[in-house]
Structure 1
Amino acid sequence: MLYPFLTLNDNTEIVHSGTLQKDGKEQVEVRIEKPVYGGFHSATCWLPDYKWENIDGFSEEELSYFQDYLASVAHIIMQLAREGGFEGGNEDASSF
């Protein structure tokens, strides 16, 4: 399951998985998708290693921006991944 994290002003979506065991350690998959004419630019980053894969359409400058951004919020994403996203643990989040 992927959880929403942030939508930027240009409609770029950042979502994350729950915590996963990969290569014997806790990791979180972060996907970034930006709508463009005729489709999407997309990339996947694995935290906490910042390993990028499946990069399609993003420039080096854009990836550098996302790398810096993720470095500033990785601790939040990792915690949310453990808790099931922003609404994790709330049985009836709509009542708040």
Structure 2
Amino acid sequence: MNPVAVGNSQSKQQLRLNWPDGREQLLDHAELRRQCPCSQCRAFRLKGLAPLVDDRVRVIELNAQGYGLQLVFSDGHERGIYPWAYLAQLGLNTTPL
């Protein structure tokens, strides 16, 4: 399931996803960076290591990939493509509209 709208707030440091069922999901930029699904970041987490991410990191670019989003971060990291289903699972801050 793809969101019906995607927004990125630099000031609030949040990615906003609006889903077809009416849910609005807010995802923190730093947490998105910590949960990057690229092979390098996943391998790091599988070793039990916590990625060091500055809380001031921002998503500076969104690139649609059909099945998800490639996020480009202010720290230069751009390898992760976040499938829609993965983003939906990350959403702990989900509120009804």
Higher helix share: 1
When normalised by structure 1's length, the TM-score is: 0.31
| Structure of larger gyration radius | 1
Higher relative contact order, structure no. (Cα contacts within 8 Å, ≥ 6 residues apart)? 2
Higher strand share: 1
